[in-house]
Amino acid sequence: MSLKYNGPLQMQINDIAQVAGYMWEKGWAERNAGNISVNVTEFIGEENKVLPVISKVPLLHPVPELEDQYYYVTSAGSRMRDIARNPMDQGMVVRVTSAGKSIDILADKDLPPTIELPSHMLMHQVFAHEALTNGTSVAAGRRVVFHTHPTELIALSHIKELQNSKAVTETLYEMHPEVSVCVPRGVGWVPYEAPGSLELAQASIKDLKKFRFMLWERHGILATGNNILEVFDAVDTLNKAAKIFFYIRMQRR
């Protein structure tokens, strides 16, 4: 069965496709790099809640706070350039079920979700805790998780003296004042862990309540927020500051 589009849901899927295209155009999404998940519960509509289950995928780590939440998730091996053209060809809509122990794939194809799905769900669980603590619905808090490979930010992560949250944040703030406007809480630093690993997820969620953006050593950036276009804009600004850093460094040689 295919997803039934209403206006708000269509806008969310369009925004995801737009950001996927931006990531590809900027060279942040080589091959199948990057992944996206967005909580679309408040946009899903009753017409999609009754879609038949295509398949069920167990979650390694239960997320009971997310039961009955709906997400758009990119698939394993998906390419951002293809998601930009057709987000439902290499992505899917899923529902968290069974006390957060599994997900049901509802639309449009039986695809394997991104290998980062367990990490994404743990991050969305942090957002659920935030929302419930604030007395709001889970879907009203941070809804977006995306990971991408901005070239200059990855290069910056190789510099030993910048390998902590304070140093990398202060450097980016100094390079470009817009960074402090877009990312007022700063950038968290995460030492290298294997991509897709539980260790990387645990290292990321440790400071996720404090930071909305985490720089993964030698790997890229984890970005979170409520609106995917605004989250992309902040990452774009961060990477511009990193680019300015390297321009200045070359001039001083």
Tens digits of residue pLDDT in 7-34: 999 999 999 999 999 999 999 999 999 9
pLDDT of residue 195: 87
Query: Yes or no: is domain 150-253 CATH 3.40.225.10?
Result: yes
Q: What angle do CA 18, 223, 129 make, to 5 degrees?
A: 115
Strands (E), 173-219: 187-190, 213-216
What is the pLDDT, as a whole number, of residue 98?
A: 82
Same topology between domain 1-149 and domain 150-253? yes
Instruction: Write down the pLDDT at residue 24.
Output: 97
Q: Are strands 213-216 and 187-190 parallel, antiparallel or unpaired?
A: parallel
Q: What CATH number does the domain located at 1-149 have?
A: 3.40.225.10
One-letter-per-residue 3-state SS of 133-169: HCCCCHHHCCCEEEEECCHHHHHHHCCHHHCCHHHHH
CB 147 within 8 A of CB 115: no
Is residue 221 within 8 A of residue 155, CB to CB? The reply is: no
In the chain, what are the domain boundaries?
A: 1-149, 150-253
Q: Compute mean pLDDT per 10 residues along the chain, 253 residues long, and list them.
A: 91 97 97 96 95 94 94 97 96 94 96 90 94 86 95 98 98 97 97 90 92 97 96 98 95 76
Q: Is 217 a catalytic residue?
A: no
Query: What's the pLDDT at 60?
Result: 85
Distance spanning both ends of the chain, measured CA to CA: 60
Place of tokens 């950036």: 221
pLDDT at res. 141: 84
- Is the model's pTM score more than 0.85? yes
pLDDT of residue 116: 87
| Candidate list 116, 170, 174, 178, residue with the active-site label | 116
Whether 66 contacts 129, CB under 8 Å = no
Sequence-distant (≥ 6) Cβ neighbours of residue 15 within 8 angstroms: 227, 228, 229
